[in-house]
Structure 1
Amino acid sequence: MAEHLYELLSPHLPSTEANLSKDPPTIQYLNRLPTLSLQALQTTEPQSLAQSAHSNLLSLQALSNRSHKSFITSADSLSNLHSSIANLKRQAQELRDGIPKLDEEAVRFSSKYSRAAENATLEQRKKVMRLSRNVDRISDILELPTLLATTVSSAAANSGNTGTSFSTTYSAALDLYAHIKRLQTLYPDSPLVNDVAAQAEDAMKDMTSNLITALRAQNLRLAAGMRTVGWLRRVAPELDAAIGEGGASNGGGALGATFLICRLANLVSTLEALDPLRELADQETQRRTRGSDQKSGTGSWTAGHQTEKYLKRYIEIFREQSFAVVSLYKNIFTPDQSETDATAPGLRGIDARTKTAQSSQTDRRLDPFQCLPPALATFPTHLVQLLTGTLRTYLPNIQDKTARESLLTQVLYCAASLGRLGGDFSMILTELGDTGDEGTEGFASEWEEVMRKHRALAGRLEQLTGANPTSPTGSSKGTLQATSLAAS
């Protein structure tokens, strides 16, 4: 029925609508028309169609107002659909052509970075990853030389303090250095650890210099000296190496000699503080020599008071400092009995060195420095040379016999004080009168007179102390006690 109606109505329909004959809504509407009456077709159907058209128009307007952007986008996409399909086809072709090449690269990558075989790239990557994981530890290791140098500098700045902070700072520096050396032992082939160890060695050299400088300090006490020497033994063990026969201990080795040199430098600097008095004594020496050349007593020097002041102060400092140096050395380095016997600069030191030389003739062929005498064996001799040289130069300026005897007595007490440590040089002073220098002709007789008076005083002191003069042992002990008491 619908087909017959469509054939009747097709001449009156537009061409666009004629193409919609197969449209389901069109067929449905044509099937509905025969069911309507003629009156309905003439009256209500046109109104219903107009109302439906108006409702559809409003719906289209609302839809276009609400979704116009989507319409525009869809229209654009629809217009570009042809070119998009062409591009998609081309890209699909390229992807299909690239799959074999991608497969080849994947196979090559798998074979190159396989864990089954050794690969330098993988090893390098492992090292980089390991470095990334241990960057904090490496940073701590790199900071060790800076921390050590800072600790050493802080200890040097606080070296004048007598508290525990000075000791704690140096102990912390030594602990850091020991930790670095332990790292070097664990990782001997690591360039980083070797570089850190080299920087630590430089810091330890500075610390060694600071400790050696500390040994030259004024009024060095036994505790500070032992502490400083102990640190030097840890920092520079080569200084404490044995130099004696067969590797035996020889008075502290080079460390003992360094200690004596530092204390000698302190003694010399202390004596140099007497330069104003020495200059006055030199002026009196010049006046004495001019007066001796002119053979005239008028206008020449007669007193020598400035020389007396200089020598008195010089002997006081020499006595105090020389006794302190030798005493500190003996207490710090604790030499054995053979070295104690060798400390006397006269006969015992020569005998000990002779025995050492005879017993090590074979070792001398290998290393001649193995037979060097202990540092303390020759040190008192050098001290005595300083004192005798000063006495030989300035003692002739003093013409007052009482003043000369007072100075010689002071020198005798100094010899007795040093003699308590094995360095008595009283007999060496008798040789000053045999040098032929002007003004020292009667020095030997004056020295003998002083010695005679001193022995008489020692005899009286022996009686006071209750010693038995008939016993040789008691006499020698009493003489030592009297000498020590008089020297004090």
Structure 2
Amino acid sequence: SQAYLSYLTTLSLPNLLAEPTLLQTQSHHLTSSLTSLTHTSYPTFLSLHSTTSSLSESLDALSTSLDALVNESLPALEESASNWRDRTDVVLAERSKARVVLEQHDKIRDLLDIPVLIDTCVRNGYFAEALSLASHTNSLYSSSSSPPLILTSIMSEVRNSITQMLFSLLSTLHGPNRKLPALWKAVNFLRKMDVFDPEDGVESEEQIALAFLGGREVCLSASLEGCNRDIQRLVGLTSAEVREKDKEDLTRYLKKYIDIWREGVHDIITQFSTIFLERPTSTTTSPAPSLHSLLVTYASHSLHKHLLPLLRITLPRIPLPSLSSLLTQLTYCATAFARVGFDFRCVLGDLFSGAVLSSVTEELQAATSKWVALFEQKMGRPVSTTSTHRKNMVPPSEWLVSPAVVASPPTSSQSYLKAPAHVPPHILTSYPPLAQYTNVLLSTLNSLRLLAPTSIALLLLAKLKELLSEAGEAFIRYVKNAAALQEQEMKIVEAVGDVYFKTFVPFMKRALGEGVYGLVIE
């Protein structure tokens, strides 16, 4: 090697010459030592050879095993480990969720109980608690940018319960016999719910007011329905079908209808004023003018829908003596409404004037028709269809005059014209048909005295003159057919005519004009 060559360069020449000999000596010595070692240690060399062979085989087997491990087992292990991780990730995720659920069990249970609690509160009328729970749920839902499904589901159930609460509050406004505290509570919760969004210029308060009026109107209509049905049934009867009891029933039903309408509308007006128009003194805001106009519009609507149309068709069918009590009832009703700004007395005059005119005219016409029919009956039957002569005519002495004065029938005098307008002339009792006619007309005028509108005085006077003329014409027709009677019969007829035209007719005009209206009748 290079070190030995360097060593040789350091030797002297004798030493360098002696170096081969020295090397040969050392070689013989090494050979001798190796030979001795071989003879003495050959078992060791055999064992070493055997061990080396075994080691080589073991190393080859190890190399093969390592190759199999690296090329086959490790990839399979890696794949198995990967598959294991994939399988356990799902389980770990589920376990993680289960652990989170277990840790948050109380909170989740509270959340899940919210819809049930709200529904229970709504069903039992605890609306404040229901709104508080709904507000809490809404804040939880709004605090998360992407709320979990469970919270979304809970929020949906809460909204359904709040919708049911809205229906419950609105049904309270539609409930019959609801008093102010219940209605006040319902309206206040509707305000707190803020479910009426302003639209088309209509504020939420106006929408709540409309809902209130609509609900109370439904209740009012339902409470009036029974009486209205009975009234319509009686009004639908014809004149021939109407009995005296039916007229009394009609009056009773109408009075009951007016009382129900008065109580219902008065409650609605006072409740609306208290809930929507009155404000605590601590607040500076005043109710919107539209709320006042809503109340005025509703009051007018209720009057023109429920009361006036029914009065127009019913009053003409009410007995004349009952009209006065009805007017008194309606006047008290209008006076009570005047305290809340709803005085409708001005519309009653025309209604009752027309009803009185119709009733009085009908009764006067009925009495006159009965008078005319009596004379037609007493004239007998015509001889032929073309002849004006009649047969079987009843003589005046048998029916037109009292038997006590047949021989000398009394006639009219100026003293009868100076008697009081409310006292019928005594001479009329001598002529029974005329006395009966007088009694019927005076009964009608006595009923009129209870309620005598001045606006129809001239109309009634004109109608009375017309009917008296019709009755006089019936008498004249009878007189013409009695021309062939005896002198005494004609004397009776002349006396009746004298009393009729000179005493009865002026008296009836005075009885109506002076006795009822205080007018001077010439």
Q: TM-score, normalised by structure 2?
A: 0.47
Match of 2:146 among 186, 189, 203: 189
Q: Is the aligned partner of 1:150 residue 2:120?
A: yes
User: 1:346-389: per-residue Cα shift (whole Å, max 9, x none)?
Assistant: xxxxxxxxxxxxxxxxxxxxxxxxxxxx5323211111011111
1:428-439 equivalent positions in 2, closer than 5 A = 428-430=347-349, 432=351, 439=358
Amino acid at match of 2:251: E
1:310: how far off? 0.8
Q: Is the aligned partner of 1:265 residue 2:218?
A: yes
1:176: how far off? 1.8
Asked whether the equivalents of residues 432 and 440 of structure 1 are also in contact (C-alpha less than 8 Å), the reply is no
Q: What's the counterpart of residue 159 of structure 2?
A: 201
1:407: how far off? 0.7
Asked whether the equivalents of residues 226 and 332 of structure 1 are also in contact (C-alpha less than 8 Å), the reply is yes
Q: What's the counterpart of residue 70 of structure 1?
A: none
User: 1:155-182: per-residue Cα shift (whole Å, max 9, x none)?
Assistant: 1xxxxxxxxxx4xx22222222222212
Asked whether the equivalents of residues 316 and 359 of structure 2 are also in contact (C-alpha less than 8 Å), the reply is yes
SS in 2 for 1:290: coil
User: Is the alpha carbon distance of 1:181 and 1:409 closer, same or farther for their aligned partners in structure 2, counting shifts above 3 Å?
Assistant: same
Match of 2:267 among 317, 324, 331: 324
1:136: how far off? 4.0
Asked whether the equivalents of residues 114 and 133 of structure 2 are also in contact (C-alpha less than 8 Å), the reply is yes
Amino acid at match of 1:254: Q
1:274-293 equivalent positions in 2, closer than 5 A = 274=227, 278-279=229-230, 281-287=231-237, 289-291=238-240
1:204: how far off? 1.4
Equivalent-residue separation in structure 2 for 1:244 and 1:342 (angstroms): 16
Asked whether the equivalents of residues 151 and 172 of structure 1 are also in contact (C-alpha less than 8 Å), the reply is yes
Q: What's the counterpart of residue 405 of structure 1?
A: 324
Q: What's the counterpart of residue 100 of structure 1?
A: 74
Q: Is the aligned partner of 1:377 residue 2:296?
A: yes
1:405: how far off? 1.6
Q: Is the aligned partner of 1:133 residue 2:103?
A: yes
User: 1:271-300: per-residue Cα shift (whole Å, max 9, x none)?
Assistant: 22436xx52x4454244x334xxxxxxx85
List gaps (5 residues or longer) in structure 1. 1-88, 114-118, 156-165, 292-298, 344-373, 452-488
User: Is the alpha carbon distance of 1:126 and 1:424 closer, same or farther for their aligned partners in structure 2, counting shifts above 3 Å?
Assistant: same
Q: What's the counterpart of residue 55 of structure 1?
A: none
Q: Is the aligned partner of 1:390 residue 2:347?
A: no
User: Is the alpha carbon distance of 1:284 and 1:221 closer, same or farther for their aligned partners in structure 2, counting shifts above 3 Å?
Assistant: closer
Asked whether the equivalents of residues 433 and 440 of structure 1 are also in contact (C-alpha less than 8 Å), the reply is no
Equivalent-residue separation in structure 2 for 1:283 and 1:127 (angstroms): 74
Q: What's the counterpart of residue 310 of structure 1?
A: 253
SS in 2 for 1:198: helix
Equivalent-residue separation in structure 2 for 1:413 and 1:425 (angstroms): 11
Amino acid at match of 1:227: K
List gaps (5 residues or longer) in structure 2. 1-60, 279-284, 362-448, 456-522
Q: Give me the CA root mean square deviation.
A: 4.6
Q: Greater Rg, structure 1 or structure 2?
A: 2
Asked whether the equivalents of residues 412 and 426 of structure 1 are also in contact (C-alpha less than 8 Å), the reply is yes
Q: What's the counterpart of residue 363 of structure 1?
A: none
Equivalent-residue separation in structure 2 for 1:450 and 1:226 (angstroms): 47
1:301: how far off? 3.9
Asked whether the equivalents of residues 271 and 314 of structure 1 are also in contact (C-alpha less than 8 Å), the reply is yes
Equivalent-residue separation in structure 1 for 2:355 and 2:328 (angstroms): 23
> Equivalent pairs: percent with the same residue?
23
1:36-55 equivalent positions in 2, closer than 5 A = none
SS in 2 for 1:185: helix
Equivalent-residue separation in structure 1 for 2:75 and 2:267 (angstroms): 92
Equivalent-residue separation in structure 1 for 2:454 and 2:97 (angstroms): 85
User: Is the alpha carbon distance of 1:434 and 1:405 closer, same or farther for their aligned partners in structure 2, counting shifts above 3 Å?
Assistant: closer
SS in 1 for 2:342: coil
User: Is the alpha carbon distance of 1:330 and 1:99 closer, same or farther for their aligned partners in structure 2, counting shifts above 3 Å?
Assistant: same
Equivalent-residue separation in structure 2 for 1:424 and 1:380 (angstroms): 10
1:232: how far off? 1.8
Asked whether the equivalents of residues 315 and 355 of structure 2 are also in contact (C-alpha less than 8 Å), the reply is no
1:67-106 equivalent positions in 2, closer than 5 A = 97=69, 100-101=74-75, 104=78
1:257: how far off? 0.8
SS in 2 for 1:149: helix
Asked whether the equivalents of residues 398 and 404 of structure 1 are also in contact (C-alpha less than 8 Å), the reply is yes
Equivalent-residue separation in structure 1 for 2:454 and 2:129 (angstroms): 56
1:169-180 equivalent positions in 2, closer than 5 A = 169-180=126-137
Asked whether the equivalents of residues 173 and 215 of structure 2 are also in contact (C-alpha less than 8 Å), the reply is yes
SS in 1 for 2:239: helix
Amino acid at match of 2:184: M
Asked whether the equivalents of residues 276 and 291 of structure 2 are also in contact (C-alpha less than 8 Å), the reply is no
SS in 1 for 2:192: helix
User: Is the alpha carbon distance of 1:284 and 1:334 closer, same or farther for their aligned partners in structure 2, counting shifts above 3 Å?
Assistant: closer
- Count of paired positions: 295
User: Is the alpha carbon distance of 1:188 and 1:290 closer, same or farther for their aligned partners in structure 2, counting shifts above 3 Å?
Assistant: farther
User: 1:17-54: per-residue Cα shift (whole Å, max 9, x none)?
Assistant: xxxxxxxxxxxxxxxxxxxxxxxxxxxxxxxxxxxxxx
Asked whether the equivalents of residues 408 and 450 of structure 1 are also in contact (C-alpha less than 8 Å), the reply is no
User: Is the alpha carbon distance of 1:137 and 1:338 closer, same or farther for their aligned partners in structure 2, counting shifts above 3 Å?
Assistant: closer
Q: What's the counterpart of residue 362 of structure 1?
A: none
Which moves more between the two structures, 181-190 or 131-140?
131-140
User: Is the alpha carbon distance of 1:419 and 1:194 closer, same or farther for their aligned partners in structure 2, counting shifts above 3 Å?
Assistant: farther
Amino acid at match of 1:378: T
Q: Is the aligned partner of 1:219 residue 2:219?
A: no
SS in 1 for 2:344: coil
Equivalent-residue separation in structure 2 for 1:434 and 1:400 (angstroms): 11
SS in 1 for 2:158: helix
1:129: how far off? 5.0
Equivalent-residue separation in structure 1 for 2:211 and 2:191 (angstroms): 12
Equivalent-residue separation in structure 1 for 2:356 and 2:136 (angstroms): 62
Asked whether the equivalents of residues 145 and 200 of structure 1 are also in contact (C-alpha less than 8 Å), the reply is yes
User: Is the alpha carbon distance of 1:450 and 1:263 closer, same or farther for their aligned partners in structure 2, counting shifts above 3 Å?
Assistant: farther
Equivalent-residue separation in structure 1 for 2:298 and 2:452 (angstroms): 26
Amino acid at match of 1:315: I
User: 1:65-116: per-residue Cα shift (whole Å, max 9, x none)?
Assistant: xxxxxxxxxxxxxxxxxxxxxxxx9xxx79x947634774599699999xxx
Amino acid at match of 2:326: L
1:243: how far off? 6.2
Equivalent-residue separation in structure 1 for 2:290 and 2:450 (angstroms): 31
